[in-house]
Amino acid sequence: DAGVTQSPTHLIKTRGQQVTLRCSPKSGHDTVSWYQQALGQGPQFIFQYYEEEERQRGNFPDRFSGHQFPNYSSELNVNALLLGDSALYLCASSWLARASREQYFGPGTRLTVT
């Protein structure tokens, strides 16, 4: 049973550039949530996708956008990168159709903005 996978593992970008991160949910899961985790802190919720739509959004600017595909995989896009966007980006999947509140995380993508 494949768990949550994310790509790439690490990424280095320059201020002002754009980045796309990818996530494949755990087998059988239909919902993907994205989190940003700064060093030494707990994750912060960015947004959640279900049925290819953004269901809920945290306190993040419009520079952060996402997409969910028919196979439930998801992308996180960040435009006009700032130094403060450097963080570990985590994807979590869950089974909303079963009203499951458990979220399972991937290993994350470490983004460094220089």
Partner 1 sequence: GQQLNQSPQSMFIQEGEDVSMNCTSSSIFNTWLWYKQDPGEGPVLLIALYKAGELTSNGRLTAQFGTTRKDSFLNISASIPSDVGIYFCAGQDLDSNYQLIWGAGTKLIIKP
93 is a site residue for partner 1 (CB under 8 A):
no
Q: How far is the CB of 112 from partner 1 (least distance, A)?
A: 14
Residue closer to partner 1 (CB basis): 1 or 14: 1
The answer for residues whose C-beta is within 8 angstroms of residue 4's C-beta and 6 or more apart is: 23, 24, 25, 26, 91, 92, 93, 104, 105, 106
Contact 67, 75 (CB under 8 A): yes
74 is a site residue for partner 1 (CB under 8 A):
no
* Strand 87-94 relative to strand 5-7, pairing: unpaired
Residue closer to partner 1 (CB basis): 14 or 42: 42
One-letter amino acid at 1 equals: D
Binding-site ranges for partner 1 (CB under 8 A): 4, 6, 31, 33, 35, 40-45, 48, 55-56, 58-59, 90, 92, 94, 96, 101-108, 110
